[in-house]
Each structure stands twice: as structure tokens, then as C-alpha cells.
Chains A and B, each alone.
Chain A
Amino acid sequence: KQEVTQIPAALSVPEGENLVLNCSFTDSAIYNLQWFRQDPGKGLTSLLLIQSSQREQTSGRLNASLDKSSGRSTLYIAASQPGDSATYLCAVARFNKFYFGSGTKLNVKP
């Protein structure tokens, strides 16, 4: 069974810092890996999707990498801002199912 782990569970940083969120998964047979943002009481906003054949994706200040063989992905956030405060979820897709990590709760202090 696929298990997805995210560390750290929570992170508090001052504004302007660069930071890295980690995601690991146990089964490398994945279709893709996706990073989401979840604001309190809200749904999911897709940030980046990496297909299983890709190594990384970038969008603005966000960069996500994927190392399928080691079962790891990282989300890099450059020059963090208070508006980045949210819970970040990673999910791996396989056979039409998403397996989610429990998230990293990020707080960016002004």
C-alpha cells in the first residue's frame, strides 16, 4: 500500500526566507506527483504537477523536484511571503487514486 509522508509537519519562518518542504512515498510506481495548497477550511489549489517521467517543474517562486527511484519529492519556495502561509500537501497518483501526505503547515511571519 502506498504511504506518503511529509516532513516537517509544521514550519514557521520569517518573511523572505527560502524553504524546502519534503515528501516521501513508499511505492515508486506512480503516475504523477502533485503539490497542493490548502487554506484553512478551504479546498485544494493545485500548485505543481510532475509526471512520472519528469524530474522537476517550476511555477513562479515554486520549484518541485521528483526522484522516483528514491521515492522523494521536494517543494522549494523562494523568497517566502506571509501570503504563502497555508498547509501544503503532496499527493501521488496511481491507478486513478491519489494518496495524500498529512501536509506541512507553513507560517510565514511578516
Chain B
Amino acid sequence: GAVVSQHPSRVICKSGTSVKIECRSLDFQATTMFWYRQFPKQSLMLMATSNEGSKATYEQGVEKDKFLINHASLTLSTLTVASAHPEDSSFYICSARVVGTVYGYTFGSGTRLTVV
């Protein structure tokens, strides 16, 4: 139970284009979703927190106009990397809070973004 499905798993795009990453909670309602980014050989860093139906909260240093987060329903949150550039190439992973379980949070399988 408590599975988050993240798509796509890999994407290669040209510089200047936008890329959308989706995270769906399959068997529970995700009122809160977290988006992380991992650069090579570095740890996962929280980018933003989204609550269903409200604006996302971004961590310091994360450009909200570049990383657009939409959490329009209790089962879907999306991260759009707008006008992607090579420096945006990274591993992006979402996480959802699961109320009522011992683990509390479940993670998607991640998206490897390469901007060429």
C-alpha cells in the first residue's frame, strides 16, 4: 500500500524546452507532496512542499518561476521545469505524506532529467 507512481523515469530534452514530471498517489490521498532534487554525488535536497489546492512553498534558493508545482488534486502533483537548461539536469524525486502509517512518507521512483 501507499504507492506513489512517478513518470517519466527518464527524460532527455533540448535546452529551452519545458518538462513536466508527474507524481500520482495510487491508493491513498496525498494532501502534501514534497519534491526533492539530487545532483550527482550529492544528497537529496528538498526543493518545495505542495499542499493540495494551495500554492507550493519553496526552499530558499529554488526559483519558483522555473520549477512550477501544481497540486490540483489529492492524487496528483506535477513539477514542471520551465525553459530547462543543462544545469537543471538532475534526479528529481517526489514524496508524499501518508497519514496513519508507521513510515509516514513514501517516495516515487524518481525522474532522471538530462537537458542537452
A contact set with B: CB distance below 8 Å: 4, 32, 34, 36, 41-44, 46, 49, 89, 91, 93, 96-103
CA distance A65 to B6 in the complex (A): 31
5 closest A-B pairs by beta carbon, nearest first, are A43-B109, A102-B43, A100-B43, A100-B44, A43-B110
The 9 sampled A-B contact pairs (Cβ below 8 Å) are: A41-B112, A43-B108, A46-B106, A46-B107, A93-B105, A98-B36, A98-B95, A100-B36, A101-B43
| Contact assessment for B103 and A89 in the assembled complex, using a CB-CB cutoff below 8 Å | no
Inter-chain CB contacts under 8 Å: number: 53
B30 within 8 A of A: no
B100 within 8 A of A: no
B79 within 8 A of A: no
| Contact assessment for A98 and B109 in the assembled complex, using a CB-CB cutoff below 8 Å | no
Number of chain B residues close to chain A: CB under 8 A:
26
B42 within 8 A of A: yes
B contact set with A: CB distance below 8 Å: 6, 9-10, 32, 34, 36, 41-46, 49, 93, 95, 97, 102-110, 112
| Contact assessment for A44 and B46 in the assembled complex, using a CB-CB cutoff below 8 Å | no
Known pairs A98-B105, A100-B45; list 14 more (Cβ under 8 Å): A43-B6, A43-B108, A43-B110, A44-B93, A44-B110, A46-B103, A46-B106, A93-B105, A96-B49, A96-B97, A98-B36, A98-B95, A100-B36, A102-B43
Pick the contact of B104: A44, A89, A93 (CB < 8 A).
A93
| Minimal Cβ-Cβ distance residue in A for B109 | A43
| Contact assessment for A98 and B44 in the assembled complex, using a CB-CB cutoff below 8 Å | yes
CA distance A46 to B9 in the complex (A): 19
| Minimal Cβ-Cβ distance residue in B for A1 | B60
Residues in B with CB closer than 8 Å to A43 are 6, 93, 107-110
Given A96-B32, A96-B97, A49 contacting B43 (CB threshold 8 A): no
| Contact assessment for A102 and B93 in the assembled complex, using a CB-CB cutoff below 8 Å | no
CB distance from B58 to the nearest CB of A (A): 13
